[in-house]
């Protein structure tokens, strides 16, 4: 009898373990199937237009989280703040030649992030990149870096790589735009097998930076024949510093009307929701916690009331503090404030008189 029990017990454990493995495989396969049904980087397609929008809080919400300690650590940080969206650096953003991506770690991360409740994933390109530079060596290094960024994003299952358009550095705007679009054309051609897009981010307009005007983004898209793998990321702190006074409903209405007039609304793939200490039109990039800056609660309430933007994923890039605990506290606080504004405002901005 004792011998039979000793034989049966290990068998039962093996059966239970195999059953768990089969369940986990089935669960992850279903998650992957759902992800493949929407856009790359999404578990559900937040831009789906034939589905009625019932709430202003249906978008994926999240933050740029640190990948220090590995990709799994980044995922844990996103889960700790209740995120359903996340942005990470897929490589060391301070180096031109970072360590290669660990293929096993990337494969595991790609399998598990949908099961962790993340509905949208993107990466952010290195700030070293300048595809518009008049210096050929810098431009070529930037092209190589972006190609690597896209391939890493593809390995992780991310939908897009967020990229600053670059700076003219003494050259004229038109010449810089041509260099930017030529570089993007080359990069997209070299990565045509990857279903990963490039999201050009609007800028504050510091120095000779491109992207402070919607016209820059629209011209880049037009020059590339409305390339389907090119979209945009709208940053609130940058827009405010570039002169869009988000505190005034009429200014917000005009901004959205310009985007719509240039047929760009459907190319907005994500929002960077950041407050700023910089004055409107100052062309200075200074992020601060939501509600603590010049945009303030009022500006974010106006923005989050716009039905045109309801389904677009929102990422915060606000200060993190000095410790992981502080980073978690501030990310939770900022996301909670934004979600509160979104739930409280379910009306569309119609260019009403400003409430000054």
* Contact (Cβ atoms closer than 8 angstroms) between residue 211 and residue 198: no
One digit per residue, pLDDT tens: the chain, 356 residues?
544 545 444 544 454 444 444 344 333 333 433 333 334 454 433 333 333 334 456 799 999 999 999 999 999 999 999 999 999 999 998 899 999 999 999 999 999 898 899 999 999 999 999 999 999 999 999 999 999 999 999 999 999 999 999 999 888 899 999 999 999 999 999 999 999 999 999 999 999 999 999 999 999 999 999 999 999 999 999 999 999 999 999 999 999 999 999 999 999 999 999 999 999 999 999 999 999 999 999 999 999 999 889 889 999 999 999 999 999 999 999 999 999 999 876 544 333 333 32
- Told to judge if 26 belongs to the known catalytic residues of this protein, a careful annotator would answer no
- Told to judge if 289 belongs to the known catalytic residues of this protein, a careful annotator would answer no
* Contact (Cβ atoms closer than 8 angstroms) between residue 309 and residue 273: no
- Residues 268 and 231: their CA atoms lie apart, in Å, by 6
Single out the residue of 323, 322, 319 nearest to residue 334, CA to CA: 319
- Told to judge if 127 belongs to the known catalytic residues of this protein, a careful annotator would answer yes
* Contact (Cβ atoms closer than 8 angstroms) between residue 73 and residue 67: yes
- Told to judge if 103 belongs to the known catalytic residues of this protein, a careful annotator would answer no
Look up the pTM and report it.
0.83
Element containing residue 298 per DSSP (H, E): helix 296-304
- Among candidate residues 272, 302, 311, 337, the one labeled active-site is 272
- Residues 186 and 132: their CA atoms lie apart, in Å, by 13
Element containing residue 340 per DSSP (H, E): helix 324-344
- Told to judge if 235 belongs to the known catalytic residues of this protein, a careful annotator would answer yes
- Told to judge if 253 belongs to the known catalytic residues of this protein, a careful annotator would answer no
- How much is the pLDDT for 345? 62
- Told to judge if 238 belongs to the known catalytic residues of this protein, a careful annotator would answer yes
CATH topology of domain 46-344: TIM Barrel (3.20.20)
* Contact (Cβ atoms closer than 8 angstroms) between residue 277 and residue 314: no
Provide the residue ranges of all domains of the chain, joining segments of one domain with +: 1-37, 46-344
Distance from chain centroid for Cα 266: 15
- Among candidate residues 227, 317, 328, 354, the one labeled active-site is 317
- Residues 282 and 278: their CA atoms lie apart, in Å, by 6
Q: DSSP letter at 42?
A: B
Residue 124's alpha-carbon distances to 38, 99, 162, 188, 282, in angstroms, are: 21, 17, 5, 16, 25
- How much is the pLDDT for 344? 76
* Contact (Cβ atoms closer than 8 angstroms) between residue 187 and residue 143: yes
């Amino acid at each position: 009898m004792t011998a039979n029990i000793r034989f049966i017990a290990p068998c039962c454990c093996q059966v239970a373990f195999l059953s768990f493995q089969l369940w986990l495989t089935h669960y992850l396969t279903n998650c992957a199937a759902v992800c493949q049904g929407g856009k790359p980087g999404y578990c559900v397609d937040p831009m789906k237009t034939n589905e009625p929008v019932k709430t202003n809080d249906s978008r994926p919400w999240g933050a740029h989280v640190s990948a220090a300690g590995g990709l799994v650590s980044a995922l844990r940080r996103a889960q700790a703040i209740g995120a359903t969206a996340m942005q990470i650096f897929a490589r060391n953003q301070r180096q031109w030649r970072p360590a290669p991506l660990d293929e096993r770690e990337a494969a595991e991360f790609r399998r598990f992030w949908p099961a962790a409740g993340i509905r949208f994933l993107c990466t952010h390109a290195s700030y070293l990149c300048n595809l518009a530079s008049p210096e050929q060596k810098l431009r070529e290094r930037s092209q190589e870096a972006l190609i690597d960024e896209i391939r890493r994003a593809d390995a992780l299952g991310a939908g897009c790589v967020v990229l600053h358009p670059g700076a003219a550095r003494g050259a004229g705007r038109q010449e810089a735009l041509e260099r930017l679009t030529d570089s993007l054309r080359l990069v997209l051609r070299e990565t045509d097998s990857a279903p990963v897009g490039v999201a050009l981010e609007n800028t504050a307009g510091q120095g000779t930076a491109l992207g402070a005007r919607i016209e820059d983004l629209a011209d880049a898209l037009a020059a590339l024949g409305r390339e389907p793998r090119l979209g945009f990321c709208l940053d609130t702190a940058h827009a405010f510093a570039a002169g869009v006074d988000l505190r005034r409903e009429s200014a917000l209405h005009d901004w959205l009307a310009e985007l719509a007039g240039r047929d760009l609304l459907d190319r907005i793939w994500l929002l960077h929701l950041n407050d700023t200490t910089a004055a409107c039109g100052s062309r200075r990039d200074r992020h601060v916690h939501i509600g603590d800056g010049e945009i303030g609660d009022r500006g974010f309430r106006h923005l989050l009331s716009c039905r045109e933007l309801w389904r677009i994923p929102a990422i915060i890039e606000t200060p993190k503090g000095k410790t992981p605990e502080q980073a978690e506290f501030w990310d939770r606080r900022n996301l909670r404030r934004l979600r509160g504004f979104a739930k409280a405002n379910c009306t569309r901005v119609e260019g009403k008189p400003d409430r000054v």
